[in-house]
């Protein structure tokens, strides 16, 4: 069951003042949130309201780029993450008590021309790297450009902006995503905005190799390289929280690491944690919805009580 969904519309404002790579910006220059809210579906399925295809923010126009969804079950601590395109996002989970974070990222709308103001031309490649499980951008150098005799194109691309107006006409330049970063594996390219200058030599996304982004003179591209986390990386929550209200239970008063040390033999503790998580979500809503959320919390407590009773009976028979 999905108990709580927090959603945001985040504006990826690209300028030389804030930096073209999100995670390379100076402190305090994080992408602004255009709109946010909370849903409490209390069912196995959640479908978002259609996100605006286009918005105006700070006097500029932005278009919907992609959705990033992460979710976690408070009872089993299972997690999932996915990238979606289109105005409507959705998620589905049966069993457990799931919390979902959904972020819709908006990119500058350069479809009518214009751009970040580089080189005096209208063509450019604006790129960044995104960690699917973390649901956030990453700062690593992640591409190589060929041909690149002196390495300047690779440097520019890893800073997030490549001026295609400086390319030789009739030539093709390949921006290749690196296959492996630190505990991350390349997944795919996604290009929400493409404007090819030459109809006979269009921008190629993921071709001829899945790692490649093939561009030409004066092409205009906004693209993202997505990465999956590999084993060995300590997971970071997909949300920013100053305080974990369950720290005392999770760490037994600070005596153990936050990963629960109990195993399948003590499932009632997991169920109590789920009830507490649902109860916390109830404080964020009101009216009849709050009543339904509290009913779910009560049902979860009942399950924990019955499980604990069965465990006590089992011990008495030993």
Per DSSP, what are the bridge partners of residue 224?
Answer: 128, 190
Q: What is the pTM of this model?
A: 0.74
Every domain of the chain and the residues it spans: 2-229, 247-317
Q: Mark the ranges of the chain whose per-residue pLDDT is less than 50.
A: 117-120, 233-245, 247-248, 251-265
Q: How high is the pLDDT of residue 122? A: 76
* Greatest Cα pair distance in the chain: 83
| Gap between the Cα atoms of 254 and 54, Å rounded | 47
* Strand ranges inside the chain, DSSP E: 2-11, 33-39, 45-47, 54-57, 60-73, 79-84, 90-92, 98-108, 124-131, 136-138, 143-146, 161-163, 172-177, 180-181, 184-195, 204-205, 212-216, 220-229
Q: How high is the pLDDT of residue 71? A: 96
Q: How high is the pLDDT of residue 279? A: 66
């Amino acid at each position: 069951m999905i108990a709580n969904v927090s959603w945001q519309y985040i504006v990826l404002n690209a300028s030389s003042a804030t930096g073209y790579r999100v995670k390379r910006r100076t402190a305090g220059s994080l992408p602004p949130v255009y709109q946010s809210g909370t849903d409490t579906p209390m069912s196995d399925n959640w479908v978002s309201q259609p996100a605006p295809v286009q918005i105006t923010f700070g006097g500029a126009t932005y278009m919907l780029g992609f959705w990033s969804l992460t979710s976690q079950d408070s009872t089993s601590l299972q997690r999932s993450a996915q990238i979606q395109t289109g105005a409507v996002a959705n998620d589905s989970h049966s069993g457990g008590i799931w919390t979902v974070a959904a972020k819709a990222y908006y990119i500058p709308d350069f479809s009518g021309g214009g751009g970040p103001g580089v080189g005096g031309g209208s063509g450019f490649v604006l790129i960044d790297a995104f960690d699917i499980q973390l649901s956030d951008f990453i700062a690593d150098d992640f591409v190589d450009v060929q041909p690149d005799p002196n390495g300047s194109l690779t440097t520019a691309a890893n800073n997030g902006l490549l001026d295609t107006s400086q390319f030789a006409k009739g030539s093709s330049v390949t921006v290749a995503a690196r296959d492996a970063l630190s505990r991350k594996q390349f997944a795919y390219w996604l290009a929400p905005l493409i404007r090819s200058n030459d109809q006979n030599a269009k921008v190629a996304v993921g071709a001829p190799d899945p790692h490649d982004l093939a561009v030409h003179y004066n092409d205009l591209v906004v693209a993202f390289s997505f990465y999956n986390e590999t084993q060995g990386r300590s997971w970071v929550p997909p949300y920013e929280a100053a305080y974990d209200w369950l720290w005392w239970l999770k760490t037994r008063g600070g005596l153990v690491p936050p990963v629960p040390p109990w195993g399948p033999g003590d499932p009632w503790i997991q169920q109590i944690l789920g009830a507490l998580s649902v109860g916390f979500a109830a404080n964020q809503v009101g009216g009849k919805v709050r009543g339904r959320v509290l009913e779910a919390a009560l049902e979860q407590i009942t399950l924990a009580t019955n499980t604990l009773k069965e465990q006590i009976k089992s011990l008495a028979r030993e």
